[in-house]
Amino acid sequence: MLQQLFVETKARFFDTLNEEIRNEFRLISKAEALFNIHFPKNAELLAKAQFRLKFEELFYIQLQLLLKNQLRKQKIKGFVFGEIGEYFSGFYKNHLPFDLTGAQKRVIKEIRADLGTGAQMNRLLQGDVGSGKTIVALMSMLIAIDNNFQACLMAPTEILAIQHYQGLVELCEKMELSIYLLTGSSKKAHRRELHEKLENGEIDILIGTHALLEDKVKFHNLGLAIIDEQHRFGVAQRAKLWRKNKIPPHILVMTATPIPRTLAMSLYGDLDISVIDELPPGRKPIRTVHRFDSNRLKVFRFLKEEIDKGRQVYVVYPLIQESEKMDYKDLMDGYESIAREFPDFQISIVHGQMKPEDKDYEMQRFAEGKTEIMVATTVIEVGVNVPNASVMVIESAERFGLSQLHQLRGRVGRGAEQSYCILMTGHKLSNDSKTRLETMTATNDGFQIAEVDLKLRGPGDIMGTQQSGVLNLKIADIVKDNDLLKTARHIAQKVLKEDPKLALEKNKVLRFTYGQLAKHQNIWNYIS
């Protein structure tokens, strides 16, 4: 029946790529490609058909993302932060606790350039755990304050929001800045005072959780909104921040989850991307080892040696209660065995089912060094900064994904001492589990780990991207075809550099095809 259709229409299919692109890549026509993808005369023609259709699919995704970015910059005006004043310069000269890395300086320069253009900034800041994103965020906020604007930082959890608040208050203690914290646990009296001061412009920086999105939270003049671990917030939630001002604030989204370049191009191709790809000097790489349950006594001996040196230890479990279907060690069982094994030491316990105040109390005890061992679930994956903690033990490590293992490992290695990550497993391991454990013991590089993760899981499972229409690919595969994706993006950039509105006669076919695709895109335009 399909063959009959080709015969009846004489394969008169409209070509969606212009002659220049087809010639440059020796692409067969759309008609030939469609015919040979269904009825290939030989293997060579099948390969040519696949290449042509994959290129086209990836090219139009990149064209849409680049045009969306271009259009947003033209349509959405941003505040011009023309002043680099006393707050930014004073902090840089007098209060910066360490020298910035070359990567941090480069990223701050990129942000400064964005903030002065008059178009709204929409930038993604990627940096591995411990790469120094917080200082970049603070210095960006100081530029807003120098220009008489307010700034806010929104974090996905209360623990992380409190950590950001404490860190920024400490960094800015010698500067006259008004920094406030707002979370779900904030008392009514504090909220009333905060709402009033915020609206009067008496607060310079507001840090908080989803509580920042409440209608009652009204800024005097919000100039910069920073969103941490942005993939944990939905599009509609992020849109609420935009509506806090008549002119939307500049947006900086940060993530410590390294995103493979190919995925970043497809998911965040409409954002400008900055990467901090350098760790601060003096940081020792974390030594990561894989140990089987049969080595547990040796591991316990090592933990005792580290605690005797004055260090602290995390032990992380994947489950809270014992599951009948799984024989993995659960948190409570683990807590009891550790309490038996370490009777002379103080132990904290933290899990997701605890009340926030109980959780914070236990976290605080550990942070202050009152407990030597923290037994926890992945609730500590983000938001705990204890420089004295030098060992991370991950029980049933085969149960965790690569990015989660990497995030957990990043909880140690924050001080000057050598830190360790011990991955505990049983002997029965799948091939994927073996690959994950081998990757973790081989490298500390989050971007390298993210590439392996992408190959293992595919783009659909990483960061919930199955919800993204961009990745509903019909023929291309962003993992296997990553070189082709880069080429397609490069060509799309080249076309738009020469002809930003696709107005030239030779690009008429591109303009028409893009128009047809745009009609069927149900996307939240401009809100990345």
Q: What is the mean pLDDT of the chain?
A: 86
Q: Which segments of 229-329 are extended strands (E)?
A: 250-255, 272-276, 287-292, 312-316
Q: What percent of the chain has pLDDT over 70?
A: 88
Is the backbone of residue 282 left (phi > 0), alpha (psi -120 to 50) or beta? left
State the average pLDDT over residues 235-250: 74
Collapsed DSSP state (helix, strand, coil) of residue 468: coil
Residue written as token pair 């060094």: 369
Burial (0-12, 13-18, 19+ Cβ within 10 Å), 443: middle
Structure tokens at 278: 């350098």
Structural domains in the chain, sorted by start: 2-76+480-519 (no CATH), 86-276 (3.40.50.300), 287-443 (3.40.50.300)
Residue written as token pair 């409190």: 162
Q: Out of 111-125, 234-248, 433-447, 459-473, which region has the weakest mean confidence (pLDDT)? A: 459-473
State the average pLDDT over residues 21-25: 93
Global model pTM greater than 0.95 = no
Evaluate if residue 12 carries a pLDDT over 70.
no
Computed from CA positions of residues 320, 325, 328, 332, in that sequence, does the dihedral angle turn out positive or negative? positive
Evaluate if residue 523 carries a pLDDT over 50.
no
State the average pLDDT over residues 314-340: 75
Burial (0-12, 13-18, 19+ Cβ within 10 Å), 33: buried
377 or 137, greater pLDDT = 137
Q: Out of 20-29, 112-121, 158-167, 437-446, which region has the weakest mean confidence (pLDDT)? A: 158-167
Q: What is the pLDDT of residue 525?
A: 40
CB distance 288 to 345 below 8 Å: no
**How do residues 229-238 score in pLDDT, each as one tens digit?**
765 555 566 6
